Amino acid sequence: MKIVKAGDKDLDGQLDFEEFVHYLQDHEKKLRLVFKSLDKKNDGRIDAQEIMQSLRDLGVKISEQQAEKILKSMDKNGTMTIDWNEWRDYHLLHPVENIPEIILYWKHSTIFDVGENLTVPDEFTVEERQTGMWWRHLVAGGGAGAVSRTCTAPLDRLKVLMQVHASRSNNMCIVGGFTHMIREGGPKSLWRGNGINVLKIAPESAIKFMAYEQIKRLIGTDQEMLGICERLVAGSLAGVIAQSSIYPMEVLKTRMALRKTGQYSGMLDCAKNILSKEGMAAFYKGYIPNLLGIIPYAGIDLAVYETLKNTWLQRYAVNSADPGVFVLLACGTMSSTCGQLASYPLALVRTRMQAQASVEGAPEVTMRGLFKHILKTEGAFGLYRGLAPNFMKVIPAVSISYVVYENLKMTLGVQSR
């Protein structure tokens, strides 16, 4: 039944000859990848020590006797090693839904920070959780995010200014925006709002990770690594919980980025000012479009990443499951960009709603009303104001994040695969 389910492409409940051949070819390719990754000595054979080492990498510790028992179940000629033919013949009619060895190469590539909300948290093996490697990965990811956000902060502030102030009558361009910021507050003003943007990384990541782990338990899956639909559900719910917890910091970040020189002495002064003049409700302006934006961002980001990864594996993974740095970065950048593109109108409406409350006497505008107003006065293009600087920061943000992440991992003693 598992073989029929894995190979049945037209969903008629039966396997015809073409489907069976396609299943065997596809399955053999996956088996070749796993065999190559298990064969540490590259001699075309797998021995007991290589099985022990590979399972240890996955967080499973077995004795030499247990490894030899595994070998004997596949070893037909009594050499106490497994060659490719023995491996293939044993596993060919065992459908594999999830190959941990392949997943391990791709697993931590989703941690790269592009300055937006990382919706689907990283997953960790049992060994990583027991040895404390998980918090080292999170610390390295947080540090990398802080550095990359600081380096690309001028583009982020320009994006916020264009989202709020740019219109048909005020067609703010990139050069003009930078000139305006420097003229109004000097070069230092390019980093307004960056402090709170960096400060919210730690609580958001921690809450999201803890929520994700709890939701995984509630889903009740017996697999250590979740499937794509389960990851989307768990990741989106964890994102909602984390965003709800730290949303006032999002509002503060927008207000700090939009403030004029001398308007606030710092973050606390800004928070006190909002609370005294506008009340607690002002800290949740734009909350609904922000939550609505999580689902398309997470769904498209995850779907594009999985599609690109699987395409690469099918076409180019002949002798190795390791995609290399460039492929991981390219897949992560493309998927994140597509996710941002889909959720950008909601992000723009959120930012405008966050900024609206700062104008005294301004009418309360709903999300729906703001959408209608933008479409009426600026057209569909108005929903994508600030998109250019947003995309300009993606590649430098991912690149900086990767370099810092790898260096921090080495400093913290995280083993790279």
CA distance 192 to 321: 43
pLDDT in tens, the chain (417 residues): 666 766 677 777 777 777 777 767 777 777 777 788 788 888 888 888 888 887 777 666 677 887 787 777 777 777 888 888 887 777 665 544 444 545 555 555 555 566 565 555 566 666 667 777 778 878 888 888 899 999 999 999 999 999 988 777 777 788 888 998 999 889 999 999 999 999 998 888 888 888 888 887 787 655 555 667 777 788 888 888 988 999 999 999 999 999 888 888 888 999 999 899 888 988 999 999 998 988 888 888 878 887 887 788 777 765 555 667 788 788 888 888 888 888 899 999 999 998 875 555 556 678 999 999 999 988 889 999 999 998 898 888 888 888 888 888 888 877 544
Query: Quick one: pLDDT at residue 348?
Result: 93
Give the separation between CA 184 and CA 201, rounded to whole angstroms. 28
How far is it, in rounded angstroms, from Cα 62 to Cα 281? 56
For residue 236, being part of any structural domain is answered with yes
259 and 147 both lie in a single domain? yes
- CB neighbours of 137 closer than 8 A, spacing ≥ 6? 108, 111, 122, 124, 128, 409, 414
Q: State the alpha helices, DSSP H only, in 279-366.
A: 287-316, 325-356
* Block residue for tokens 């607690």: 280
State how many domains the chain has: 2
Q: Which of 57, 84, 109 is the last residue of a domain?
A: 109
Task: State the burial class of residue 190 (Cβ atoms within 10 Å of its Cβ: 0-12, 13-18, 19+).
Answer: middle
Q: How far apart are CA 149 and CA 197, in angstroms?
A: 8
Of 109, 144, 167, the one marking the end of a domain is: 109
379 in any annotated domain: yes
> Which pLDDT score, from 0 to 100, does residue 120 have?
57
Q: How far apart are CA 327 and CA 309, in angstroms?
A: 8
Same-domain status, 310 and 241:
yes
Note the pLDDT of residue 119. 52
In a domain, 417, yes or no: no
Spatial neighbors of 203 by CB under 8 A, at least 6 apart, are 245, 246, 249
Residues 240 and 105 in one domain: no
Assess if residue 298 is contained within a domain: yes
Residue 246 φ/ψ, nearest 5 degrees? -110, 10
Q: Are residues 75 and 189 in the same domain?
A: no
Note whether 93 and 192 are same-domain residues.
no
Domain ends where: 109, 142, 167? 109
E strands, 45-100, are: 45-46, 82-83
Parallel/antiparallel/unpaired status of strands 82-83 and 45-46: antiparallel
Q: What is the DSSP letter of 281?
A: G
244 and 339 in one domain? yes
Specify if 245 maps to a domain.
yes
pLDDT of residue 103: 53
Whole domain around residue 184: which residue ranges? 126-412
What CATH number did the domain enclosing 56 receive? 1.10.238.10
Q: Could you give the CA distance from residue 12 to residue 324 in angstroms, rounded to a whole number?
A: 39
Residue type, 53: Q
19 belongs to a structural domain: yes
Alpha helices of 166-286 — where are they, by DSSP H? 174-185, 194-199, 201-219, 228-258, 267-278
Residue 2: per-residue pLDDT:
64
The two tokens of residue 399 are 């690149």
pTM for the model stands at 0.70
Angle at 192 between CA 387 and CA 347, to 5 degrees: 30
Both 304 and 358 in a single domain? yes
